[in-house]
Structure 1
C-alpha cells in the first residue's frame, strides 16, 4: 500500500462531515489570476498552508493537540511520486493562540514539485489527538521530520517519507483521536470531465459556510453582496496550490551543485571533465527539475565543460548552479523539442 492510501485509510474526507471547495480565480482577487497555468514538463507545483483557524470548542494544546498533514501524489504514465508533510502547529508562530482567531501561516507543505502531466491527488487536513503533553511531544517529533520534507530536495528526502507516515499512523491509533478537517481528491488537466488542475485556493472547513467563500488579501472570508462580511464559522484551513515556471532555489540542489563546484576547483582536465559529467548526469536525471529544466541545465553544463577544457582551476564562468541556471539561454520550447539523450549530452 502506498503512502497516500495509508494516510487516506485513517484520514478520509468521507469519514467526517464537513465542507471543502476550490475557490475560483475570480473569487481570489489578484492572487488567483497571476499564476501561470500548469503545463506538463515545464511547470512546478507547490502546496501551501495559507491560513488556519481553530474554533475554541476544545481545550486545544491542553487536552487536544492538533496536527496538519498533507500527502500530494503525482501520477504520470507508470510513475507515482508521493510527497508527505506533517506540520506541528506549535511550530507556526501564533498558532498556539489560534482558537477563535484566524492565523496567516504561509507555510509550505511541499517543496517545488515538477509537473509531468497525468493527475495530482491531494489528501490534507487537520487532526486532533486527545492526550497529555507526551502526545504533543510525539506530534512535535513527527512534525519535525515531516517539516524536513517540505524544504529539502526531493532526491534527498525520499527515505524520510515512509518513516513519517509510520509515525503518523501510530499517532492516529492513539485512543481518542478525531478528524477535525479532511479533504482528498484528484485533479487533472482540462479535457477529462473531472476536477481541473489549476493554481488557486482550497478551503477545508468543518461546516458549510453561510455565504459564498472568497479569498481577500490572503484571508478566507464569507462574501455578501457588498463585500467581505465575516470569517467563516468553525475551524478551517485555507491552502494554496502554487504554479511557477522557474525555480528560485537552485543553490540547494546539492547533487548538481556539488560536482559543479568540484569541477571548478579541479586542476587537471581529466578530473574536471569527470566532475562535469557527474553534474550533467545529476541534472538530466534530477527528480527536482521538470523536463525542460533538466535539459536546459544539462546542456548549459555541457557547454561549460567544453569551454573549460584544458584550463586550470576555473576562475571565469558561473560561480554556482544558480548563476548557471540564470545564464542558461535555451528556451523551454526548444528544450522540449530537442529532448537530447543523456548519452548525447555526455559525448
Structure 2
C-alpha cells in the first residue's frame, strides 16, 4: 500500500537525525516482559505509544501540527501482507503541568491483531505538518477514519484501510509538506516477534549513549543502575510491543457477542429452536473471524456449546436466572488456556456443529 512506502521513504531520509534503540530487558523497571516469542495461531500482538515528549522549541499546534501514526503489515484473513494504517491528531497530546513539554502516554496505536505466521512489519512515528487550517481539518477526518479501523471487529472496517492509507500518503508525499519528526520501523519473523520496548529519539549516538537508556514505569529514563532520571532535552517516543494470548475485548466482537446473548434470551424464553439457531450462528462466525487466532476459534466454539448445554439444563432448575449473565469475556476467562487448546489443532465446522 502507498502509505507504507510513503512513511518508509520519510524514515530513510530522516535516519541520520534520529536514534533508534530497542531497550535491553534488564533495563526495564516496573513491568516484566514475557520473553516468549510469538507462536502462530496462539498469540495476538498490539502496539502502544507508552511515552512521548516534545519540547516547545518548535511551535507545535501553531507552526507545526503533530500527528501520531502507525502502519502494520501482516497476514490477515487470508490476505498476505495486508496493510493496516492508523493516525491520530493532536487531541491525543497535552501540555504537562508545570513543564515545558508536550506529552502523550499509554495510547493504543493498533487494535489487537492475531499472529497467523509469516513476517510482521511495523512503522510508527510522529509526523510534523505545516500549521495550515485546511490540514488540521483534513487530519481530523483521517483521525476519525482511523478510530473506526482501530475497532476490535477489524474485518468490518477493512474497506477504510485503502482511503486512510491514501490520505496519509497525501500528507507526506503530496503538496501538504509533511515530514517525519520521529520514527521507528521494524520487521519481525515469528521467532523475532516478542514483547519489547523501542525508543526513537531526536538525537545521535554521539549526543546520547544507547546503553544509558532505561524504561521506568513506561517512561524513558537515562542514567545507570545506581541513578537515573526521566529523559529531557530531546524529543522522543517510546513504543511498547505487547504479545498476549488472552483478548480483553471479547464483548466488542459484536458478531459473536450478539448471537450469544440472543441464545441465552431464547433459552430463558423456552424457545429451543431459536436458541440453537443463535448458537450455530455464533459458532460459524467465530470459526470464520479473521480477528481470532486458530486456538481461540476452537476455544470460543467449545465454550459456547458448553454454556448452551449448562444453560439448557439450568432452565429445569428453580435457580436459573438472568443473573448468570451473557458476558462473552467471562465465558472465555473460564475456558482452557490458548496454549493448551492449540495442541488440538484447527476445528472444522462439522466438528464444531456436531451435537447441536
TM category (shorter chain) comes to 0.7 to 0.9
Aligned to 1:278: 281
Aligned to 2:83: 82
| Contact 2:28 2:214 survives alignment (8 Å) | yes
Aligned to 1:5: 4
1:210 matches 2:202: no
Aligned to 2:305: 302
Secondary structure, in 3 states, of the residue corresponding to 2:203? coil
Aligned to 2:50: 50
| Contact 1:7 1:165 survives alignment (8 Å) | no
Gaps of 5+ in 1: 191-195
| Contact 2:52 2:236 survives alignment (8 Å) | yes
How do residues 148-187 of structure 1 correspond to structure 2 at under 5 angstroms?
Answer: 148-172=148-172, 173-187=174-188
1:235 matches 2:235: yes
Aligned residues: 340
- Which whole-Å CA distance do the structure 2 matches of 1:319 and 1:35 have between them? 35
Report the TM-score when normalising by structure 1.
0.86
| Contact 2:54 2:101 survives alignment (8 Å) | yes
Secondary structure, in 3 states, of the residue corresponding to 1:339? coil
- Which whole-Å CA distance do the structure 2 matches of 1:99 and 1:157 have between them? 39
Aligned to 2:95: 94
Secondary structure, in 3 states, of the residue corresponding to 1:246? coil
| Contact 1:50 1:239 survives alignment (8 Å) | yes
Secondary structure, in 3 states, of the residue corresponding to 2:111? coil
The alpha-carbon distance between structure 1 residues 75 and 33, as it changes in their structure 2 partners (threshold 3 A), is same
Gaps of 5+ in 2: none
The alpha-carbon distance between structure 1 residues 35 and 3, as it changes in their structure 2 partners (threshold 3 A), is farther
The alpha carbon displacement at 1:328 in A equals: 2.2
| RMSD between aligned residues | 3.0
237-246 or 139-148, larger mean C-alpha shift: 139-148
17-26 or 156-165, larger mean C-alpha shift: 156-165
Secondary structure, in 3 states, of the residue corresponding to 1:11? helix
The alpha carbon displacement at 1:179 in A equals: 1.8
| Contact 2:3 2:168 survives alignment (8 Å) | no
Aligned to 2:141: 141
- CA shift digits 1:146-177 (9 cap, x unpaired): 13333442223312222221222222323432
| Contact 1:37 1:198 survives alignment (8 Å) | yes
The alpha-carbon distance between structure 1 residues 41 and 327, as it changes in their structure 2 partners (threshold 3 A), is same
Aligned to 1:293: 296
- Which whole-Å CA distance do the structure 2 matches of 1:104 and 1:69 have between them? 13
- CA shift digits 1:97-147 (9 cap, x unpaired): 899526241000011111223222111111111132332222222122213
| Contact 1:119 1:188 survives alignment (8 Å) | yes
The alpha carbon displacement at 1:335 in A equals: 4.0
- Which whole-Å CA distance do the structure 1 matches of 2:234 and 2:299 have between them? 48
194, 201, 204: which is aligned to 2:197?
201
The alpha-carbon distance between structure 1 residues 55 and 332, as it changes in their structure 2 partners (threshold 3 A), is same
157-166 or 309-318, larger mean C-alpha shift: 309-318
| Contact 1:205 1:236 survives alignment (8 Å) | yes
- CA shift digits 1:279-316 (9 cap, x unpaired): 00111222222221111111122233455669989957
The alpha carbon displacement at 1:25 in A equals: 0.9
The alpha-carbon distance between structure 1 residues 206 and 57, as it changes in their structure 2 partners (threshold 3 A), is same
Aligned to 1:253: 253
